[in-house]
Amino acid sequence: MFARQTNAVASKTCVLANLSAPRSITEKTFGMHFHDLPGSLTDPALTYGVVRSLDYDGQGSPIGWKYIETSNGVYNWSPSDNWVNYHHAAGKDIVWNFGITPDWAVSAGAVGGAGYGGKSNMPPDNNADWIDYITQVVTRYKDKIKFWEGWNEPNLPKYWTGTSARMAELQRLLYQTVKSIDPSATVLSPCYTSVFSGIAGVTSYLSASDGASGHGKDWFDVASYHAYANDDCRRITSLERMTREFRAALAAVGKGALPIWSSEFGFINPGYKTFDQTTQRQLMRLHVLTLLVLGWDRIIFYSWDNGTIGPDSGSQMWQELMSDLVGHEIVTGSVKVYAQTNFLVSVTMSNGRTMTESFAGMP
């Protein structure tokens, strides 16, 4: 059962983390994924300042290389133009995720199990094809998009079957191409996920050769990760462990001072809609407050209108939380485990309000 903490905390308490410094919370702290355009949703009046291009453009097509460059040098811009123009006009920061290889760019047979079918999880044969695609996208959207992200979840075989070294090489080419077109742009790392294979994957990537004179660690301005409690979304301690180990991996290669973004977070296991509305609300508050205390600079929810893991239509839980946070400063915050199985996150805001959420009996 999820409940507000009202009783005294048990004497045996382990402090997992404290807020390192006061932080201001703005609309741009939070992001949202949509499979449709927000204007066509039943509950579009949401506070968020960031959108990310995975998965859909509002016209039923995923946004990715294979859907845009349909054959070598042939581009279908209409769906992505619609998506970019909509969110740019709404004043959102846009994060464009690169990846999803088209079949024509790979000569080998499909590995199988690809998240987007065909050869979408395989590295392209030729660097020139990858560079050409990046050049076309960044040139077209550089006045509307300032955030460009590497490959999606490359520790998962359904999204990537290449090596860490090949990923580092593709990220180097991405970084160099983006910066040559728009030096003011921000490049995000490939976004690994999970407290299990993700940390091992990102550690391998960071130290992998980039095919030139550097390594994977050298080619991003922001460290991106997907902060899912993959084993069970009710085991919120996974978020603390993931954050700690991700920061340690970055620090080990001299990148510990970089900002970290969770370009996806959410509730996959069990699916969000398996819980009642009261529990959904508590899950949302627990995860968001925990990620803020742990120091994630931006957190992007995945995804609002997903039939299994999105909030129920008409829910105001997100808006309630945004009203509590946006425009204020978190002055102090802590993440604790007490009595071994109970989780507690507490923040004090600049307006004097204290928000405390807990879960008793983590699975």
Q: Does the residue 20 lie in any domain?
A: no
Give the range among 28-37, 223-232, 235-244 with minimum mean pLDDT.
Answer: 28-37
- Return the pLDDT at 1: 30
Give residue 274's pLDDT band: very low, low, confident or very high (50, 70, 90). Answer: very high
Q: Is 215 a residue whose pLDDT tops 90? A: yes
The answer to whether residues 268 and 228 touch, using CB atoms and an 8 Å cutoff, is yes
Query: In the prediction, which pLDDT does 156 show?
Result: 97
Confirm whether 338 is domain-assigned.
no
Q: What is the mean pLDDT of the chain?
A: 92
Please tell me the number of Cα atoms within 13 Å of 358 on its side-chain side. 19
Listed residue (339, 283, 273, 328) closest to 306, CA to CA? 273
Total count of domains within the chain? 1
* Statement: residue 77 has pLDDT above 70: yes
Residue 298 has pLDDT above 50, yes or no: yes
Q: In the block, which residue shows the tokens 């160099």? A: 176
Q: How far is CA 109 from CA 172, 264, 349, in A?
A: 26, 30, 55
How sure is the predictor about 313, in pLDDT bands with cuts at 50, 70 and 90?
low
Q: pLDDT digits over 185-195, tens only?
A: 999 999 999 98
Q: How many helices (H) and strands (E) does the chain have?
A: 8, 17
pLDDT in tens, 108-141: 999 999 999 999 999 999 999 999 999 999 999 9
Task: Indicate whether 40 pLDDT > 70.
Answer: no
| pLDDT > 90 fraction of the chain, expressed in percent and rounded | 80
- Average of per-residue pLDDT across 165-184: 99
Q: Do the domain assignments include residue 2?
A: no
Q: 257 lies in a domain?
A: yes
* Sequence-separated (6 or more) residues with CB below 8 Å from residue 166: 123
The CATH number covering residue 157 comes to 3.20.20.80
The stretch 44-57 carries a mean pLDDT of 85
What domain range includes position 52? 26-327
Q: Please indicate, yes or no, if residue 80 is contained in any of the structural domains.
A: yes
Q: Is residue 339 part of a domain?
A: no
What are the beta bridge partners of residue 347? 333, 355
Spell out the SS3 assignment of the chain. Answer: CEEECCCCCCCCEEEEEECCCCEECCHHHEEECCCCCHHHCCCCCCCCCEEECCCECCCCCECCHHHHEEECCEECCHHHHHHHHHHHHCCCEEEEECCCCCHHHCCCCCCCCCCCCCCCCCCCCCHHHHHHHHHHHHHHHCCCCCEEECCECCCCCCCCCCCHHHHHHHHHHHHHHHHHHCCCCEEECCEEECCCHHHHHHHHHHHCECCCCCEHHHCCCEEEEECCCCCCCCCCHHHHHHHHHHHHHHHHCCCCCCCEEEEEECCCCCCHHHCCHHHHHHHHHHHHHHHHHCCCCEEEECCCCCCCCCCCCCCCHHHHHHHHHCCCEEEEEEEEEECCCEEEEEEEECCCCEEEEEECCCC
Number of residues that make up the chain: 363
**334 lies in a domain?**
no
Confidence label for 363 from pLDDT (cuts 50, 70 and 90): confident
The pLDDT assigned to 3 comes to 35
Q: Does residue 256 surpass a pLDDT of 80?
A: yes
Residue 234, both tokens: 């009710």
Structure tokens at 357: 């959420």
Burial of 228 (C-beta count, 10 Å sphere; 0-12/13-18/19+): buried
pLDDT at residue 2, rounded to an integer: 34
Helix (H, G, I), strand (E, B) or coil at 296: coil
Whole-angstrom distance, CA of residue 63 vs CA of residue 52: 10
- Which two structure tokens, joined as six digits, stand for 22? 């006061």
Q: Is the pLDDT of residue 8 over 70?
A: no
> Taking 80 as the threshold, does the pLDDT of residue 7 lie above it?
no
66 band by pLDDT with thresholds 50, 70 and 90: very high
Q: Is the pLDDT of residue 73 over 60?
A: yes
CA dihedral sign of residues 300, 305, 310, 313? positive
pTM: 0.94
Position 5 scores a pLDDT of: 39
Is residue 340 one of the residues assigned to a domain?
no
What does residue 148 show for φ and ψ, rounded to 5 degrees? Answer: -125, 125
- The two tokens of residue 79 are 């769906």
